[in-house]
Amino acid sequence: MARHPVNPPTDGWSLTLPPRFWAALTDHLFRGDKEEHGAVILAGRADGPRGPRLLARELILAKDGVDYVPGETGYRALAPSFVRDAAVRARDEGLAYLAVHNHFGDVAVGFSPVDLASHERGYPALRQITGQVVGGLVFTPQAAAGDLWLPDGSRVDLAEVVIPGGNLIRLRPRPARAGTVDLMHDRQARLFGQLGQESLGRMRVAVVGLGGVGSILVEGLARLGVGSLLLIDDDTVDETNLPRLLAAERDDIGKPKTVPATRNARRANPQIRLTAMEERVETSRARQALTACDWIFLAADSHAARFWVNAATNQYLIPATQIGVKIPVDDDGNVGEIHAVSRFFVPGNGCMWCNELIDPTELAIDMHPDHERAAARYVAGVPAPSVIALNGLVAMEAINHFMLATTGMHHDPEDTTSTIHLPRQRERSAQLPRRDERCSWCSREGHLGRGDT
C-alpha cells in the first residue's frame, strides 16, 4: 500500500476515525473496480485545542445497487431510504451525519460540481431534520475533503481526517507543504523529514504519572521536539525516588514531582508549552485536559488512572501507551519473573477493560478519598522494587513507537501490537490486544466516539 503523506496536525474542523473503521472503509471504497461506492459515518463531537473534533462512532456501509444507486443528476447517490434511516439515527442520538464516497486519485481530492450541487439540494433539509452537523466527505486512499453544514446555518471545510493507528495518519485535501525546521532539530529532520518534525512540534501529549517511567518520557518527548506537554501527578519527590528521576536533586525532596519534570522539559526545549497539574488524574480538570491531547502516555499504575485514560482513548478517540514494570517479590524476598511492558491502545481496537487490565475491586478502592483508600487495603503497601534501567527499557521503547507513528514511519500502519520484555530471560515478545465485541467502552454499543455528546 502507498505510504500516506505526512501531514502535521492543522487548525480547523477535524474528523477522527478509529483505525478499524478506516480499514473497513478502505476495503469498501477502494476495491480496484473503478467504481464509486458510498457510506455514512455518524459522529460524536468534542472540542479540541485546534478546533471542533468530530469523532466517528458508527460506520454504515451502503450496499451497491441497494443503498447506493444511480442518481437523478449525479453519477451515483445514496438511496433516499438509506439517507432517511441514517439521518433519523443521527437526530435521535445527537450525532453528526456524514455521507462518504470515493474519488480516483492519490494525494489530492476535491468535490466535483455535481457533488456540490447535490450538497446544496440535500443538506439544508437534512440539517433541519437532524439539528446536527451534516456534510459530505470524499476520499482517495491518501487524501480526504469534507463540506460541513453546521446547525447555526454556516458552512465550513473539513481541515483533516485523523486515523490514530499504528501510524498516526492525517488526510487532507492536498498534502501539507513543509516549513523550515529549527537548526536544533536538523539531525532528526534528516530522519523524519521536515513535515515529520513539524508533526512532532504540533503534537499535544499527556504524561500521566511522573515517577521513574514518566520522568524519562518527559525528557525524551521534550528533546524530540514535541510542542506541548500536559504533566499530571499529585505525588511529591522523596529520597527513594532520586535514583530514578532524571536530573532530580536533593533539593527536590518534598517538592511535587511536576517540579523536576517541568524543569527538565524546559531545559530540553525552552519553547515547549507545558501544563503541569499537581493532582490525581481523576479530577474533572485533569480528565478534561486529557481529552484535548493527541496522545496519552500512562505511566501511573493505579486502576483509576487506567480507567480514565481508557475512557479518553475510546470516548475521545485518543491513542494511548501504557508503560509499566512489574517485579514480583514473594514474602521470602524471592524475585519472580520481571515483566517490562509497553502496551499500545488504539481507539476501538480492544481496550484495558477487554484486556482485563482494570480490576473492578482495585478501581473501587482507588476511587475512595485518600484516607479511606489506605484503610480499604487489607495489607499495608510494601514499596515495590523499581530501577531506572528497567524503566528506561520500556519508556524509550514507548517513545520510539510514538515517534515512528507520529512521523508515519512504521512499515505496517495496521500493526498495533504491544511489547513485553522478560529481561531475566532476555526475551521480547509482541502481543495483540484482545477485543470484546460488546465492550461498553471500545465498541459502538458503548462509549466509542461519544465525545461530549
Strand partners, 70: 76
- C-alpha to C-alpha distance for 369 and 357, rounded to whole angstroms: 22
Residue 76 falls in which region: left (phi positive, over 0), alpha (psi -120 to 50) or beta: beta
The continuous run of DSSP H or E covering 289 comes out as helix 284-290
CB of 210 to Zn ion, least distance (A): 27
Contact 433, 426 (CB under 8 A): no
CA 13 to chain centre: 16
* Closest CA relative to residue 324, chosen from 397, 388, 394: 394
CB of 99 to Zn ion, least distance (A): 10
For Zn ion, the closer CB: 55 or 226: 55
Give 276 or 312: the residue with its C-beta nearer to Zn ion.
312
CB of 440 to Zn ion, least distance (A): 8
Strands, DSSP E only, in 36-191? Answer: 38-48, 51-61, 68-70, 76-78, 96-102, 134-140, 143-149, 155-164, 168-171
- Cα angle 44, 119, 151 (rounded to 5 degrees) comes to 40
Q: Considering the complex, what minimum distance in angstroms separates the CB of residue 353 from Zn ion?
A: 5
| DSSP at 307 | H
Pick the piece of the chain touching Zn ion (CB under 5 A) from 118-126, 170-178, 416-424, 438-446.
438-446
Residue with smaller CB distance to Zn ion, 307 or 441: 441
β-pairing, 143-149 vs 134-140, is antiparallel
The contact pattern for Zn ion, residues 102-141, with x = CB under 5 A and - = no contact, is ----------x--x--------------------------
Tell me the closest approach of the beta carbon of residue 100 to Zn ion, in angstroms: 10
- Is the Cβ of residue 283 or residue 417 nearer to Zn ion in the bound state? 417
* 388 Cβ contact list (under 8 Å, min separation 6): 212, 216, 243, 244
Binding span for Zn ion by CB under 5 A among 23-31, 51-59, 276-284, 435-443: 435-443
Number of residues binding to Zn ion, judged by CB under 5 A: 8
Min dist. Cβ of residue 109 to Zn ion (A): 9
Q: With respect to Zn ion, which residue has the nearer C-beta, 315 or 406?
A: 315
What mask, x for binding Zn ion by CB under 5 A, covers residues 328 to 367? -----------------------x-xx-------------
Cβ closest to Zn ion, residue 111 vs residue 192: 111
Residues 6+ apart with CB under 8 A from 138: 100, 101, 102, 103, 109, 110, 111, 115, 144, 145, 146
> Which one among 21, 22, 139, 441 touches Zn ion, defined by CB under 5 A?
441
For Zn ion, the closer CB: 320 or 351 = 351
Chosen residue from 442, 447, 449, 451 binding Zn ion by CB under 5 A: 442
Q: Is residue 439 a contact residue for Zn ion (CB under 5 A)?
A: yes
Query: In this structure, what are the phi and psi dihedrals at residue 81, rounded to the nearest 5 degrees?
Result: -70, -35
Q: Which of 268, 442 has the CB closer to Zn ion?
A: 442
User: DSSP secondary-structure letter at 449?
Assistant: T
Yes or no: say if 37 and 62 are a contact pair by the CB < 8 Å rule.
Answer: yes
| Contact status: 307 vs Zn ion (CB under 5 A) | no
Indicate the residue whose CB is closest to Zn ion. 439
Q: Is the dihedral of CA 18, 132, 284, 358 positive or negative?
A: negative
User: Interface with Zn ion by CB under 5 A: which residues?
Assistant: 112, 115, 351, 353-354, 439, 441-442
